[in-house]
Chains A and B, each alone.
Chain A
Amino acid sequence: MRVVLAIAAKDLRQRLRDRSAWVIVFLAPVLISALMAMAFNNNDEFRANLGVVDLDRGPAATGLTQVLDSPELEGTVHVRSYDAEAAARRAVDAGDVHAAIVVPAGFTESLHGGGAEPVRVLDSVDYGLQAQLARAITESYVAQVNADRLSVATAVATGVPETGIPELAAKAALLRLPEEVRAQGLPDDPLKVISYFGPSMGMFFVLFTVGFGARGYFIEQQQGTLDRIAAAPVGRGSLLLGKSLSTFVYSLAGLATVTVVSWLAFDASWADPVGVAALSVAMAVCVVCLTALVISLVRTEQQAQGLASILVFALVLLGGNFVFASGTTPAIRTLALFTPNGWALRGFTDLGTGVRGWDAVGAPLLGIAAFSLVVVAVTALLLRLRRTP
C-alpha cells in the first residue's frame, strides 16, 4: 500500500508542478463557469414589454388593457400605452417594447354584430416568444367576443328565427366560456444556469486529464522510468494502482473545486451534497478507466494525445456539456445517456431542481458505472490481445 501511495504522491507532485495542469483543471472551469454565471445573471426571467394602441376607446378595448394589467400577468408583462400606431411602430423598431397590440376603431361596436377590423400585433423579428405571448393574450380576449357572435350564429343555424337575433345577442353577451385554463405551480426548485454549467465545465476540463495521464505514461515509458520501477520489487499492479490513484485524486480535486466555487461564489444550488460528491467520485473513477483505455489503444505519446482529445470532445459533445441539455431536442438528450458525463449532468440537473438522494443520483451512478465497466472490459480485452503473440 505504501508503494501505491508513494507512486501516486510522486505523480501528483509532478503534475502540480506543471502550471498548465493547474490552468486546465482548476482555473479554466472556474473562470468559464463564472463567465456563464455573469452572462446569465437574472437573465432566466422571461419578460415581455408590450405596447398598446387603443384606437377604439370603447369598453371592449379597455377590457383588453385590463387583461394585460391583470395580476396573472404581473411580472411577465409590462404594458406601455401609445396614442398613435406610428409611435408604437417606432417603439417596436427601436426595441423599447417587444411587441405592440393595435385595437382598431369600431372594436367595441363589433361586439353587437357586423364586420370588424382585425386586431393587429406589431412584432419584431428578434422577440418571437414575446410576440407569441402578445398574440396569445389578444386571441384569448378576442375569443370571448367571437364566442358570443358564434353562439348567436349557431342558434340561428339550429332553427331559432332570425328575428330573435337582438335578443339572442343580449343573452349571449352574458355568457362565459365554459372551458378555462388554471395555472398550477410545481413545488420544485427552478434549475439555475450555474447549477448546470458549473459541473458541466468542470467535467469538460477534467476529461482532459485522460490525455495528460495517457501522455504521462508514454513519456515515462520512453524515459525508462517504468522499466526502472519494474526492476524494483514493485508489482505491476501496485504501479497501475498508484498511477490510477493520482489521476483519480487530480480529477476529483478539479470537480470539487468547480462545484464548491460555483456554490460559494455564484450561488449554485444542489439539494444534496452527498449526491454531488457521489457523482464527482463516479466521474473521477470513469476518467481513470478512460485513461487506461487510451493507453491500451495507442503506442506513442502523440497518438495518446490525439485519441484522448478526440474521445474527450466526442463525449462532451454528445453528453451536453456544450449546450444546455434541457433546451435541446429529445434525440440529443437520449444520445447524452450513452455518455458518463451526460448521465452525471442528468444527476446534477435533478439535484439542482430539489431532488435528493438515490432518486436524483441512482440512475446516473448506475449509468456511469455501466459505462466504466464497458471501458474496463474493452481495456482488459485489448491488453490480453496485445500480450497474445
Chain B
Amino acid sequence: MIPVCRLEDLPKGESVRIETTPPVAVFHTDDGDLYAIDDTCTHQDASLSEGWLEGCLVECPLHAASFDLRTGRPTCLPARRAVRTHSVTVVDGLIHVHLAAEEGTAA
C-alpha cells in the first residue's frame, strides 16, 4: 500500500504521478472517482498522468491513444495493449494505491 497524497491536494480533474517502478498515475475524475493505472503508455513512451482526462478516459499526450481508467484497456489506436490498473483507497483523508503486482506476490 503506497501513500499518494491527501485527497484535498488532488482536485477533481487532476492527476498525479508516483515514482514507483514502473511509475503509476493516479486520477481524480470530475465525477469524484479515483483511479490508478501504470503511468507509461503502452504505445511508446509518454506519461499518462500528463494526458487529457475526460470522464473515465485519459488521452495520451503524445499520439492520442485513449485508455479507460476502469479497465486499463485502450479505446482507440495507436495503443493496442492495456495498462495495468491498481486499486485506490482513501484512509483518513489520505489516498493510497495498492499495486496490482504487489497484491499478486502477497497472495
Answer yes or no: are A and B bound together in one complex: no
| Chain B contact residues, CB within 8 Å of chain A | none
